[in-house]
Amino acid sequence: MRTQVVIIGSGPSGLLLGQLLANSGIDTVILERVDRDYVLGRVRAGVLEQGMVDLLDEAGCGARMHAEGLPHDGISLAFDSRLHRIDLAGLTGGKRVMVYGQTEVTHDLMDKREAAGLTTVYDAKNVLPQGFDTDTPFVTYEKDGVTHRIGCDFIAGCDGFHGVSRKSAPAGAIKTYERAYPFGWLGILAEVPPADHELIYANHPRGFALCSMRSAHRSRYYVQCPLDDKVEDWSDDRFWDELRRRLPPVAAERVVTGASFEKSIAPLRSFVAEPMRFGRMFLVGDAAHIVPPTGAKGLNLAASDVRYLYWGLREFYQERSTAGVDAYSARALSRVWKAVRFSWWMTTMLHRFPDTDDFGQRIQEAELDYLVHSEAASAALAENYVGLPY
């Protein structure tokens, strides 16, 4: 079997890249390790930058997002028992973000791919990218006990942090950068209306909290917790009590409680692998980098990588130019590092670290106070939050 681009992984990176390439007449096969329902069952990100919204539109997958998503013009920072709104749209010349769950994005992209009759192989085991240091790369995989081989021009490693693509890069050719944070996020989903129509990021001496949502009836809440906590330690009642204690009274009294239907603890980490290209194989999205979710950047960075790679591959096939694919790694990493910095900064400013003493707490409060009272500082936050230009 042969195709132009083999895409490893059917998360948002792989599906979006596949759709944009298909719209330009470029053939792809997607190989996915697990089944479709498993991919759709993962509850993850939910805040889309304008650039990602535009890309989904360009892919022809934006209709449901515009009908059901929630455009947001601002966020609130909560500290010192008060809410302080950051007017994202007012500070960025009208840019906003869209609240629309990653699960829904994935669903829309999968539906489009299926309707177009494009090939995705689910349950593909032992996927292995090979020969990418030559002009004739290929990928092997097993399905139902039979080994298959797909020849191609390029391989896109869209297989997430634990995928095989990054691990297949020659050890001497890759450098990684990492910071693990000494806490996790305990998150719940509940079928209750959100405490506010916009997101609330709370800094509190008891720890960070985030009020988010997936729709007008479905809330996503998080509280910072120790890394060794277990989900079983946290009954719904304990979660709701802790959340309300970390919010200003005006927000706490608006929290509507109810039974959670998803509850999980995620560790927080910053990670970058350089470069993002190895011959004819590219790393895309979480395969190359991870950010803590505080800045709502993980999914959006995956989209910007896709944009740069799609441009490069389109240029290769339509203009026989390698300029775009040659520039991919440097272009993507330049934007990646800015998002890594922003996510690290938001995380540092909003969380209680084990060594945060009263002095450290006051410094955080002073930084937050400056942030909400200086238009220049608020504008810098807003510019990064809505997404730096591609």
Ligand X SMILES: Cc1cc2nc3c(=O)[nH]c(=O)nc-3n(C[C@H](O)[C@H](O)[C@H](O)COP(=O)(O)OP(=O)(O)OC[C@H]3O[C@@H](n4cnc5c(N)ncnc54)[C@H](O)[C@@H]3O)c2cc1C
Residues with a known catalytic role = 72, 201, 293, 297, 385
Site pattern 109..138 for ligand X (x: CB under 6 A): ---------------x--x-----------
Does the protein bind ligand X through residue 164 (CB under 6 A)?
Answer: yes
CB of 196 to ligand X, least distance (A): 17
Does the protein bind ligand X through residue 69 (CB under 6 A)?
Answer: no
Residue 125: count of CB within 10 angstroms of its CB: 13
Beta strands in the chain (DSSP E): 5-8, 28-31, 47-48, 70-72, 75-79, 82-86, 97-99, 119-121, 125-130, 138-143, 146-151, 154-157, 175-190, 199-202, 209-213, 219-225, 260-274, 277-278, 281-283, 289-290
Scan for tokens 């039979």, then name that residue.
Answer: 146
Does the protein bind ligand X through residue 108 (CB under 6 A)?
Answer: no
* Complex with ligand X: residue 162 or 217, whichever CB lies closer: 162
User: Which among 68-76, 162-170, 195-203, 314-322 is the span making contact with ligand X, rule CB under 6 A?
Assistant: 162-170
CB of 227 to ligand X, least distance (A): 14
Q: Are 351 and 181 in contact (CB under 8 A)?
A: yes
Does the protein bind ligand X through residue 22 (CB under 6 A)?
Answer: no
CB of 202 to ligand X, least distance (A): 16
Scan for tokens 């400013």, then name that residue.
Answer: 349
Closest of 145, 147, 141 to residue 127, by C-alpha = 141
Site pattern 253..292 for ligand X (x: CB under 6 A): -------------x------------------xx------
CB of 269 to ligand X, least distance (A): 10
* Complex with ligand X: residue 12 or 69, whichever CB lies closer: 12
Does the protein bind ligand X through residue 213 (CB under 6 A)?
Answer: no
Residue 46: strand pairing partners: none
- Among 51, 62, 137, 160, which residue sits at the site for ligand X (rule: CB under 6 A)? 160
Does the protein bind ligand X through residue 31 (CB under 6 A)?
Answer: yes
d(CA 103, CA 44): 7
Does the protein bind ligand X through residue 314 (CB under 6 A)?
Answer: no
* Complex with ligand X: residue 97 or 368, whichever CB lies closer: 97
User: Which among 11-19, 108-116, 237-245, 271-279 is the span making contact with ligand X, rule CB under 6 A?
Assistant: 11-19
d(CA 344, CA 289): 13
Does the protein bind ligand X through residue 34 (CB under 6 A)?
Answer: yes
Residue 229 C-beta-side C-alpha neighbours within 13 Å? 21
Does the protein bind ligand X through residue 8 (CB under 6 A)?
Answer: yes
* Complex with ligand X: residue 98 or 127, whichever CB lies closer: 127
Does the protein bind ligand X through residue 51 (CB under 6 A)?
Answer: no
d(CA 67, CA 49): 17
Q: Which amino acid is at 227?
A: L
- Among 5, 6, 29, 39, which residue sits at the site for ligand X (rule: CB under 6 A)? 39
Backbone angles phi, psi at 290, to 5 degrees: -130, 140
Backbone angles phi, psi at 194, to 5 degrees: -65, 155
Q: Got the DSSP string for 268-299?
A: EEEEEEE-SEETTEEE-GGGTEE--GGGS-HH
Q: Which residues bind ligand X (CB under 6 A)?
A: 8-14, 31-34, 39, 44-45, 102, 124, 127, 158-160, 162-164, 266, 285-286, 293, 296-299, 302
